Amino acid sequence: AQRVTQPEKLLSVFKGAPVELKCNYSYSGSPELFWYVQYSRQRLQLLLRHISRESIKGFTADLNKGETSFHLKKPFAQEEDSAMYYCALSEGGATNKLIFGTGTLLAVQP
Amino acid sequence: DAGITQSPRHKVTETGTPVTLRCHQTENHRYMYWYRQDPGHGLRLIHYSYGVKDTDKGEVSDGYSVSRSKTEDFLLTLESATSSQTSVYFCAISESKASGDYNEQFFGPGTRLTVL
């Protein structure tokens, strides 16, 4: 079955510390993976997608097919990074449906 | 923000009453989705639509129905609300992409529903 697992409900770090938000997936085909972010009192927005290999707000994520992982990383956390982060897997095909993980709340302490 | 609005933004209702949530888009996107967001569960798909009058069930569709009579509107109805349907409901839209493109979804601001 297709599944996205985010093992950490809460990740608390100090400002300037490195951040790694874990995401593992289960998918039989070639996955399309995304990270969405939800800042306090705001709507979900796309942070980055694996296919474009981009860095947004200092965050990067590399798809590791061998480990079926798509961890989100940032070398130096900022207080404004505090938010809920969701990893999502596209089922592909015409419906564009996404399967979301349970989310990780990142809290960056001053 | 993509042109997606949800109404109402907040609602408190009583068990057993019908409730309809509205999602409106101005992007003319083909696909529309309803999710519920709950602590410990993330976002779960309730129903989705792939065109006018074309809808299908998602992961947690029991107790919910949807309708899409126009491209721009996607309605979510709780026929008889229960306390377990207390949640934050998000609408999302996306468009068909050419082969090789990604399937980005754009989200609405959410509706906080409380069923007493």
Q: Report the residue of A4, A34, A43 to disrupt the B interface, i.e. the one with the largest count of B CBs within 10 Å.
A: A43
Which residue among A6, A32, A97 sits closest to B48, beta carbon to beta carbon? Answer: A97
Q: How far apart are CA A22 and CA B93, in angstroms?
A: 26
Query: What pLDDT, on a 0 to 100 scale, did the predictor assign at position A1?
Result: 76
Asked whether the beta carbons of residue A9 and residue B40 sit closer than 8 angstroms, the reply is: yes
Report residue B82 as tokens: 């229960």
Q: Where are the alpha helices (DSSP H) in B24-112?
A: none
Mapped onto helix, strand or coil, the DSSP state of residue A79 is helix
Which residue among A34, A94, A103 sits closest to B42, beta carbon to beta carbon? Answer: A103
pLDDT digits (tens, 9 = 90+) for A60-101: 998 898 999 999 999 999 999 999 999 999 877 777 789 999
Beta bridge partners of A12: A107
Query: What pLDDT, on a 0 to 100 scale, did the predictor assign at position A18?
Result: 97
Q: What is the CA radius of gyration of chain B?
A: 14
In A, which residues are within 8 Å of B31 by CB distance?
A: 95-96
Q: How far apart are CA A60 and CA B36, in angstroms?
A: 27
If phi > 0 it is left, if psi is from -120 to 50 it is alpha, else beta; for residue B81 that is beta
pLDDT digits (tens, 9 = 90+) for B10-55: 999 999 999 999 999 998 888 999 999 998 899 999 999 999 999 9
The full DSSP string for A21-68 is E--EEE-SS--EEEEEEE-TTS--EEEEEGGGT--BTTBEE--BTTTT
Q: What are phi and psi of A79, to 5 degrees?
A: -60, -35
